[in-house]
Chain A
Amino acid sequence: MHITADRDRCVGAGQCVLAAPAVFDQDDDGLVAPMTFDPAEGEQDNVRQAVNVCPSSAIWIDKE
């Protein structure tokens, strides 16, 4: 799996951090800052949930 995050679209709700805390973080501006763009297999369900709950479609899966 490979993911992309768009900081311009991010509104800093923090939903991705709650859904997949091992993959997503927020930087000092509060905007999305993935810790990896290639989440491990055990994290992929959480990543799908993070993508589903992001309110501004700022993260997505490029490659399953």
Chain B
Amino acid sequence: MTDMLDTDLPSFPMARECPMHPPAEYKEIRQEAPVSRVRMPDGQLAWLVTGHELSRQVLADPRMSSDRTHPAFPLALTTEQRKAFQQNSRLSIRRSMIGLDAPEHGPHRKMLISEFSVRRIAALRPRVQEIVDRCVDDLLAAPQPADLVEHVSLAVPSLVICELLGVPYEQRHGFHEWTRKLISRRTAPEERRASADKLNDFLEALVTEKEQGEPTDDVIGRLIARNRENPVMTHDEIVGTAILLLIAGHETTANMISLGTVALLENPGQKAQVVADPSLLPAAIEEMLRYFSIVESATSRVATDDIEVGGVTIRKDEGVIISGLAADWDDSVFENPDQLDFHRGARHHVAFGYGIHQCLGQNLARMELEIVFETLFRKAPNLRLAVPAADLPYKDDASIYGIYSVPVNF
């Protein structure tokens, strides 16, 4: 690798041959050099980490910064798109915990941890079941073929996160569209800026309303109250946090519902097992999380010092992409990673990231997935794809992988 000319470097992101598998290059790159150079769409070079242990090492290293405004932070964007993102001073999400480093990060995260504990999430189960029942019934009342994404994948997590945060669900068409444009690499710079501004304006107005009115009994309302007692966040940071929770709370789970449903339909033997015994679902979901590892974009970093990783030196101010998808297909850790094996029993995947930024909402996601798969296949035992799985519109252009629509018959 060291003898390679810059122009010979592989480009990132890399294309997939099979929509259900990582780009084939990941395996070759990992075998050759699990920490290696790639070229980003804006021409900058970045390090790509493809080994599982090395990924955990980098993500746990406090010298790796999550500052998305750093000029070398790897964003899979063109120069113009990067400018539209980094120079938009109104985009409060940059001041949310996902972009903060220690020691600033801890107090921000601690303002929200209690909301997402295993016990708090378990208490939401009956309400989430009601929401899922309603969405699946909507799907089954729709003319066939019906779109699983519209009726279930996107509807369930949107309803749940709106209710949790205290965001009016009637406003979903706006934030769905703005999120879609923000995570797509096909979005032109001006459109990206406009979508970011609209999302910002929407949550700015909502947070301001909650700050000025009576305290509301929802995550944002309680965050505002907690912050009054013990000031940690500025108004802008609360807005940024609301944007982060709203995007992370609907888009990621939506894509896992779509991909997981397709995976189950394409693996009828494994599907039959979890339908017969839903107690297998938690392990099946861990395996789906590993297999798809849909969020590659959140786990990039920039080095704040010279750091030795896997025999190479990452220099201060160099960008690093830690591909959770590559890490979770590391065959030295997960035997036959291309086999979707619900009995694998592996919880150490990095689908939710690793280190201090590991997904705060992971237990909510797990519960939503469990209830959706159990309910969907119980109420619709004849559920099937209306088009071959290979022909579905996969999100090849998005920083969070998934499927745009999944037409089904039942």
> Which A residues have a C-beta under 8 Å from some C-beta of B?
11-15, 17-19, 25-26, 28-31, 49, 52-53, 55-57
Contact = CB atoms under 8 A, between A and B. Distances in A.
B109 A12 contact: yes
A57 B110 CA distance: 17
A57 B61 CA distance: 11
Contacts of A14: 116-118, 362-363
Interface in B316-357: 347-348, 352-356
B359 interface: yes
B118 A49 contact: no
A56 B347 contact: no
Interface in B355-384: 355-356, 358-360, 362-363
B113 A52 contact: no
Contact of A55 (B117, B118, B354): B354
B347 A30 contact: no
B114 A11 contact: no
Contacts of B114: 12, 28-30
Contact of B358 (A13, A18, A28, A30): A13
B127 interface: no
A13 B362 contact: yes
B201 interface: no
Nearest to B354: A55
A31 B348 contact: no
A26 B114 CA distance: 9
Interface residues of B, number: 24
Interface of B: 60, 106, 109-110, 113-120, 347-348, 352-356, 358-360, 362-363
B356 A12 contact: no
Given A13-B359, A31-B113, 10 more contacts: A13-B360, A14-B362, A15-B362, A30-B113, A30-B117, A49-B347, A52-B347, A53-B347, A56-B355, A56-B356
B356 A52 contact: no
A17 B118 CA distance: 7
Nearest to A10: B113
Contacts of A30: 113-117, 120
Contacts of B355: 55-56
A14 B115 CA distance: 12
Nearest to A56: B356
Contacts of B116: 12, 14, 30
A55 B113 contact: no
Which of B117, B355, B356 has the largest count of A CB atoms less than 10 A from its CB? B117
A26 to B, nearest CB: 4
A29 B112 CA distance: 9
Contacts of B358: 11, 13, 15, 55-56
B43 to A, nearest CB: 33
B356 A11 contact: yes
A52 B348 contact: yes
From B115, B355, B358, name the one whose CB has the most chain A CB atoms within 10 angstroms: B358
Nearest to B349: A53
Nearest to A14: B118
Given A55-B356, A56-B355, A26 B109 contact: no
Nearest to B115: A30
A47 to B, nearest CB: 13
18 contacts: A11-B356, A12-B116, A13-B359, A13-B360, A13-B362, A14-B116, A14-B117, A15-B362, A26-B117, A29-B110, A29-B113, A30-B114, A30-B116, A31-B113, A53-B347, A53-B348, A55-B353, A55-B354
Contact of B113 (A11, A15, A18, A25): A11
* Residue of B118, B353, B360 with most chain A CB atoms under a 10 A cut-off: B118
B327 to A, nearest CB: 13
Contacts of A13: 352, 358-360, 362
Contacts of B352: 13
Nearest to B59: A55
A29 to B, nearest CB: 5
B117 A12 contact: yes
Contacts of A19: 347
A15 B115 CA distance: 15
Nearest to B110: A29
Nearest to A58: B356
